[in-house]
Structure 1
Amino acid sequence: MVASPGGPSPNVDIGPLTWTALIGVSLPVSATHGPTRTDGLHAEGFSHDKAGAVLAAAHIALRLDPHIGSTVLETTISGQVTGEPGDIEALRTRLLGAYQQLASSLGGGGGAPVGRLSAAPRAFRVAVDGDSAQVWLVVEGAGPEGSVQFKVVALHLTWANEDWRLHAPPGGSWTSQATALADISGYQDLLKGSTP
């Protein structure tokens, strides 16, 4: 697997995209590359190629945000996350704990979404080697005084059971996998070539 985003080409034929809302942000959808199965808050069915890996990374990663609610968190971790058992359990514990804190401070709970997601997928780089993929997903969020902030997160995926699965990060936290970016130059912009 390529260890840094300097290696893979940013030019991936991801095709025309449409966008679907998920508690405050928009996620890209492709008729060719997925997801092909959605039921509100869940998304599955991605193509076994670079474009499918990118879309799977975006959809799965954003469904691992504590704001999404414990019901979706549990389903996503159980069905779409792979890796070392200790890392998966640490991820589950961290996310469910964060969800409980959000539910207490913002009101709500009972497994339902709380608040809204604060970052949306904006750009990417990807490398695929057979059934293994590395996606550097750039997310865009609001910064101070109305500015825009970018962060790139390195995500490792494996093709298993006819779909992409996201590897739990070491120790259950993506903090060490994320880096702030000044802009998205050098990454393929998801907004280019997509349809509103």
Structure 2
Amino acid sequence: MSSPDFAQRPPWTRPGFIAAAVLLLAVILIGVLVAVFAIANNGRSGAAATSTPTPGSTPADSSTTAPGAPEAVPTAPPADVRWELVGQTAVPVSASSGPSRTGETAAGYAHTPEGALIAAAQISTRAAYSAGRQSWEPTIQQQFEPNADRDRLLAALREAGDTPADPGELSQIAGFSYQSYTPDTAVIGLVFRAPSAGTPRYHVLSLTLLWRDGDWRMMPPPGGSWTSINRMTSDLIGVVEWGAR
């Protein structure tokens, strides 16, 4: 005779029922895991299939330069340059890189590293005291970024008056280096050879140009003083030699 205690227990507490339930639960759990695994694999396969180019398709160009990212710069002088005098200083002119408009100022430069280089040479030379007020005043007013440093530079030049340089006493362009370049901002080390009968001396102006309103414009030197962006050197190591011959 069955034990009264066992006979009165609910069926789901009896050992046989529990074993069957455990087995059924294990089967269900295995089925769920298999389904989840299959879905995950299908998702990965679909992603791989999506990223694999179909025959005849063109893969995305991973070399595309992001906006504002640095670009490759020339390691040789521009090929189509001729040299013209502004006062006593020779400046470059290029049919492909500019300037395309000359008068009180020289403007209209290509939106390229070469265009920025020629703009740096033209604008800095025309903004120099030695170019004369008829050159430096409109150049600084129209082709420099307007700020307090520009106003200080103008004030200093106006105070200095207008004394012409003696022949042979001005530095001439001797080379360049691109310190950085993006389509928006170019920083160019423009190298000048100082007049000297002995050991060659060079000074390097670190010039910053910004692409604004369809042309290159120059940032005025800090404090309105060219000496703030000038350094002296006795060699041309790391510089691309360039200048009038």
The structure with the greater share of residues assigned to strand is 1
State the partner residue of 2:51: none
Gaps of 5+ in 1: 1-7, 104-113
**Contact 1:90/1:172 (<8 A) preserved:** yes
Specify whether residues 77 and 60 from structure 1 end up closer, same or farther in structure 2 by C-alpha distance, changes over 3 A only.
same
Q: Deviations over 1:10-51 (max 9, x none)?
A: 615622211111111211111111111123x63111111111
Specify whether residues 32 and 123 from structure 1 end up closer, same or farther in structure 2 by C-alpha distance, changes over 3 A only.
same
Give the 5 Å matches for 1:26-175.
26-39=90-103, 42-83=105-146, 85-98=147-160, 100=161, 102-103=162-163, 114-115=164-165, 118-126=170-178, 127-143=180-196, 145=197, 147-175=199-227
Q: Deviations over 1:74-126 (max 9, x none)?
A: 2001110015x21111111112222x1x43xxxxxxxxxx2367122221111
Alpha-carbon separation, structure 2, partners of 1:51 and 1:66: 25
The structure with the greater share of residues assigned to helix is 2
How far apart are 1:170 and its partner, in Å?
A: 1.1
Higher RCO, 1 vs 2 (CA within 8 Å, ≥6 residues apart): 1
State the AA in 2 paired with 1:49.
T
Question: Deviation above 4 Å: which 4+ runs of structure 1?
Answer: none
**Contact 2:145/2:219 (<8 A) preserved:** yes
State the AA in 2 paired with 1:133.
A
How does the TM-score come out when normalised to structure 2? 0.64
Aligned-residue CA RMSD in angstroms?
A: 2.1
Among the aligned pairs, what percent are the same residue? 30
How does the TM-score come out when normalised to structure 1? 0.79
Alpha-carbon separation, structure 2, partners of 1:66 and 1:46: 23
Gaps of 5+ in 2: 1-71
Alpha-carbon separation, structure 2, partners of 1:38 and 1:96: 23
Question: Given the alignment, which residue of 84, 98, 123 partners 1:20?
Answer: 84
Alpha-carbon separation, structure 1, partners of 2:216 and 2:75: 20
Q: Tell me which structure has the larger Cα radius of gyration.
A: 2
SS where residue 205 of structure 2 aligns?
A: strand
SS where residue 123 of structure 2 aligns?
A: helix
Q: Deviations over 1:116-160 (max 9, x none)?
A: 6712222111121121110110011202x3554211110111011
